Structure 1
Amino acid sequence: MSQPATERLPEFKLDGKVIIVTGGARGLGLTQAEALLEAGATVHCVDVLPEPCDDFARVSGRAQALGTTITYHRADVRDAEGLDRVVSSIAEAHSGVHGLIAAAGIQQETPALEYQAADANRMLEVNVTGVFLTAQAVAKAMLKHGTARGGSMCLIASMSGTVANRGLICPLYNASKAAVKQLAKNLASEWGQYGIRVNSLSPGYIVTAMVEDLLVQHPEREATWASHNMLGRLSAPREFRGAAVFLLSQASSFMTGADLIIDGGHTAW
C-alpha cells in the first residue's frame, strides 16, 4: 500500500526541471512559460524576434520572486545548426534538459487558389520542419546528458488540424497542424524506449495579441467564432496554463502519443 503524500499534488511540481519553450517571446508560449515557472521549472524561451514582448520583463521579475529564472534566446527554428547551438548551450549550462513546449508557428489566411509556392514552403518549414528540428535537438540533448528518462514534450497543434475552420481560409496552416499531431505520435513511438514522452496540444480559438489585431479588421468574427463552440466564447491564453504543467510534469506520466484538445467543444459537435 502506497504511503499518503505529505504535500498536495506533488506530481505537478517541476522543481529542478529545465524546460525550453519555442515561440516564447509572447502570446501562448510566454503564458505557458510563466505557468511552468510557477510550478518550479527553469525556463528558456526561444523565438525568432530580436526582443521578446514588453510583458517578458514582468514574467522575468516573477521568476526571480519564485526563486527560478527565465532566459530569452533568439533563434530561427528553421536553422538546424543555430537551433542545435542554443539547445546544446542550455543543456550544457544545466547538465541536461527535461522538457519542451514547441509553440513557434505562423499563420496565413489565403485562398488555396491564390497560395504561392514560397508561402506554402515557409508555412511548412516553420510549423512542421521547425517543430521537428526543435524536438530532435531537445531529444539529442536529453539523451546526451541522461535526462531522457522522465523527459516530456508538448507540440502545439490546433483544433484546425482536425477540422476545417468555417469562414477562415487557411489551407496550409490547417494542414501543418494536422502534421504536428501526426509528428507527435511518431516521435512518441520512436522515443518511448528512451523514456521520452511526446504529446500534442490542440487549442481552439485563442484571443492573443495577433488575434486581437485580426478582430479589429474583422470584428464580426468574434461572435461568429464563439458561436461555433459549446461554451459560446473564445479562449484566453491563460486557459492553457494548466495543460502546459500537466503535459510537462509527472501528472501525465503514462500519457504519450496523444492529442489533448481544448477547444470549448468546437470539434465535438
Structure 2
Amino acid sequence: MSNSNEKVAVITGATGGIGFEVAKRLGKDGYTIILNGIESETGDKRVKELEIAGIKAEYYGFDVTNEDEVTANINKIGEKYGKINVLVNNAGGIGVRARFEEMTTEQYRFVMALNLDSVFFASRAAIPFLKKSENPSIINYTSNAAWNGAGPGAGIYSVSKGGVQSITRALAKDLAEYGIRVNAVSPGTIDTPFHAQIKSTKPEVFASWANSVLLGRLGQPEEVAGVVSFLASKDASFMTAETVQIGGGQALGI
C-alpha cells in the first residue's frame, strides 16, 4: 500500500518513443511511474534509466490488446498502490497497412484492438483505482487521421482513432461525477524511432514532411510529454473531454 502523498501514473506502451518521454516527464513531476510494454528486457532497461534519474519506476509486461492481461495487471497495480492517479493510454500504432478491399477481418480486428480496445480495457480496469486518488485523469492519444481519413492503407487506423476521439468524450461524461477528467492529445508528425527507417533510407521524404507543418519542423517527443504533463496536473483541473493538437499547425494544412 502506498503512502497517501504518492502519485501513481500508469503509461501503456512506454518503453520507447513518446511513451518513454512521457514517463520521464511525469517522473520528474513526482509520479511513481508504471511502465507497460511487451519487451521485458527493454522494460527493465528503461526502469533502470528512470531510477538513475531519481524516479521511482516499475515495469509490467502485458499485451494491451488482451483483455485478461490488461485487467489482471491494472488490478495488481491498483491493489499494490491503493490508487492510480493518471492513466496514459499511450500504446497504439498503424498496426497494418492495407486497402479496404484487400483487408482481412483479422487485420481489421487487430488495428481496432491495438488502438481502441486497449483504451477501453485499461480505462475500465483503472476506474475503481482512479476514484480513490486525488486529481484523477485519463489521457488518450488520437490523431489527425481521426477526422481526415488517413493516408492510403491506413484507413482502419483512422477508424480506430475516430473511436478514441469518441471514447474520450464518452468517458469524460461517464466519469465527471467522480471528478475523473478524460482528455486526449493529438500529436502531429513527431521525430521518433517510429520514423527512423524512412529518415535513414529516404531523408528527402522525411525532410519534406516538415513542409506540411505551419511551424516548418517536426515535433519532438518532449513536446508531447509537456502537454501530457499539463493535462495530468492541477493546472488543467477544469479541462475534460478536450483534444489538444500538438502538430505545429499541421492540421490546418498549408
Match in the other structure for 2:81: 94
Tell me by how many angstroms 1:160 deviates.
1.9
Match in the other structure for 2:130: 142
Q: Which runs of 4+ in 1 moved over 4 A?
A: 53-56
Match in the other structure for 1:11: none
Amino acid at match of 2:65: R
Structure 2: runs of 5 or more not aligned: none
Tell me by how many angstroms 1:220 deviates.
3.5
**TM-score, normalising length from structure 1?**
0.85
Partner of 2:35: helix, strand, or coil? strand
Question: What do residues 224-255 of structure 1 show as CA deviations (whole Å, max 9, x unaligned)?
Answer: 32111101211121111211111111111010
Asked whether the equivalents of residues 19 and 42 of structure 1 are also in contact (C-alpha less than 8 Å), the reply is yes
Asked whether the equivalents of residues 149 and 159 of structure 2 are also in contact (C-alpha less than 8 Å), the reply is no
Partner of 1:232: helix, strand, or coil? coil
User: Structure 1: how far apart are the matches of 2:234 and 2:163?
Assistant: 26
Amino acid at match of 1:125: A
Of 20, 31, 35, which aligns to 2:21? 31
Tell me by how many angstroms 1:152 deviates.
0.6
Match in the other structure for 1:186: 170
Structure 1: runs of 5 or more not aligned: 1-14
Match in the other structure for 1:204: 188
User: Structure 2: how far apart are the matches of 1:231 and 1:117?
Assistant: 39
User: Structure 2: how far apart are the matches of 1:242 and 1:228?
Assistant: 23
Asked whether the equivalents of residues 19 and 98 of structure 1 are also in contact (C-alpha less than 8 Å), the reply is yes
Match in the other structure for 2:42: 52
Asked if 1:262 corresponds to 2:246, the answer is yes
Of 97, 102, 110, which aligns to 1:114? 102
Tell me by how many angstroms 1:93 deviates.
1.7
Tell me by how many angstroms 1:85 deviates.
1.8
Match in the other structure for 1:175: 159
Match in the other structure for 2:12: 22
**TM-score, normalising length from structure 2?**
0.90
Partner of 2:109: helix, strand, or coil? helix
User: Structure 2: how far apart are the matches of 1:112 and 1:218?
Assistant: 27
Match in the other structure for 2:52: 61
Asked whether the equivalents of residues 153 and 247 of structure 1 are also in contact (C-alpha less than 8 Å), the reply is no
Match in the other structure for 2:138: 153
Tell me by how many angstroms 1:131 deviates.
1.1
Match in the other structure for 1:71: 58
Amino acid at match of 2:62: A
Partner of 2:210: helix, strand, or coil? helix
Partner of 1:73: helix, strand, or coil? strand
